[in-house]
Amino acid sequence: MHGRPDLELPGLHRFHWYVSPEDIRADAVAGRSVPQLIIFPTYDRLAETQLTELATTEAVRRMAADSFNFHERGRAGLATLAAVARRSRAYRLTVNNLDDACRTVLSLID
């Protein structure tokens, strides 16, 4: 397995190694995928695991708020988020128990 020692982390005086997907297996990189689900998880130790469907506009708002570069992308970024939200189902997932949360999410997959 070979990595990339050419990227030094500033201030840490060490190298950051990356693993090539082909080093894992020949077909490790797949083609494009189209999102079908958008899930916004929140942990709440006092709540029961609960899934709440969100409107498209709320999904766009939440994705924009969670994006680290939304302000740089402007109108094009908003259009991309809106397109993803229109073709996806969006949910708020309140998580208390990980097993329950996993079962809940897996129940959404066709």
Domain boundaries, the chain: 34-106
Average pLDDT for 19-27: 83
- How confident is the model at residue 16, as a pLDDT? 53
Neighbouring residues of 98: CB distance < 8 A, sequence distance ≥ 6: none
Average pLDDT for 4-18: 50
- How confident is the model at residue 1, as a pLDDT? 41
Q: How far apart are alpha carbons 48 and 56 in whole angstroms?
A: 25
Average pLDDT score over the chain: 85
Q: How far apart are alpha carbons 28 and 5 in whole angstroms?
A: 22
- How confident is the model at residue 6, as a pLDDT? 46
- pLDDT tens digit string along 51-92? 999 999 999 999 999 988 888 888 898 999 999 999 999 999
What is the value of pTM for the model shown? 0.70
